[in-house]
Structure 1
Amino acid sequence: MTILAIDTSNYCLGVALLEDNQVLGEYITNLKKNHSVRIMPAIETLMKDCERVPADLTKIVVAKGPGSYTGVRIGVTIAKTLAWTLQIPLVGISSLEILAAGTGRYFDGYISPLFDARRGQVYTGLYQFENEGLVNVEPDQLILLVDWAAKLVEAPKPILFVGNDLQIHRTKIEELLGLKAMFAGITEHNPRPSELALLGSDKQGEDIHSFVPNYIRLAEAEAKWLEAKGKISNG
């Protein structure tokens, strides 16, 4: 089985090839550049370097959000197109789950991956490694950081926070959680596309036509449009 993993859900762009539980290659950047221009050349370069052609692929695994509305849409669109064209399964994995999977395997506690969502909000969830692997303890959600910290203060184990946006919220997390909060190292903040491939390796393919990203919330422009039409309230 040869799996292509694609993640453009945030500033990090990542692609990986996993074949028979071996990482053949992995490409990651953390740059504020246009993913729509860079993702296909990245895939093509990786495939060429690993001496694989599209016909060798047996599954596509994609980061389905949450994250940047545009970034998530780009990755999902390309993944769906490739899966449909090659007639191979498509699997979507939470962008937060990927981040959690890349750290904390030997950490005796919970893992809280996070992306900044502005206005004091974060996309986050709570994960833990158990015998069967990574387990989602609290579902992915959009929440005010102070409310999230209030939930975690009663947790029976320490919490490991991870993510490139951690620097925005670290001071507040330390203030609210004290010694219960621990922080991943700088080399662990980029989600690994090889972890994405591994997470999706044993999952069944989803219906390509009905597959949609998980934005958690509406894109700001769409929310404003619906609000103007009176379809959602200001609250």
Structure 2
Amino acid sequence: MSLKAYPTQALSVQDINERVRLHMPLARKIAWQIHGRVRDLLDIDDLIQIGMTALVEAAQRFQDTGEATFGAYASIRVRGALVDHVRNNLTLTRTAVQRRDRIAQARRDLLSEGKDAENQTLIAEKLGIGVPELQIWHGQIAQAADKSLDEIYDDHSIWFADERPTPEHILLSGELRNRLANNLKKLNERDAMVLQLYYVEELNLEEIAETLSISIGRVSQIKKAAISQLRHWMDED
């Protein structure tokens, strides 16, 4: 059963405002969840504003037919709007990561040739660009420093999956949840707790780090290793 909006009957401004007011905490929570995953790359105020705009649009479009609550519908619409914003606005950062890799390769090539791998003119020549453009590349890379975009742009990540469930997806998700639950029991307590807090309680990395009294980087390492182990077990099922 998919969630969708039906042609709406005329709603009063008061009704729409009440829907929005009651679900503003939901929109803010989703915005903060997303900000926790792209922290330092996108401004939280911008994310909240986009989330609120999507919430208002959802309130205007939604009509209760008994298929889904407004909260469920609004959650999908708000998250979808924010994910679209992330996709559109992290393109520059993705390019920066690719350019970082090209610069690193150019430096390795220079080292293998016995040349100065820090010479900006030689690096630019290897890349087929001018030194001024190379400096622009360095600036873009600096903006993306200290952020792992490999995980953000993982093509297999549920983060960039379509948030609108199909009937088939809902059916399969029930089966997958059962398999996942069985495999989660195989994880050690710490790894299982991190995944529980992240995917079920919907805490971001910073909140998990504070809860478990460990660093954000350590939380990220644990989550990545646990997911890798789960994928391995699920593939064997």
The two structures have a TM-score, normalised by structure 2, of 0.25
Structure with the larger RCO, 1 or 2 (CA within 8 Å, 6+ apart): 1
Report the structure number with the largest CA radius of gyration: 2
Kindly indicate which of the two structures has a greater share of residues assigned to strand. 1
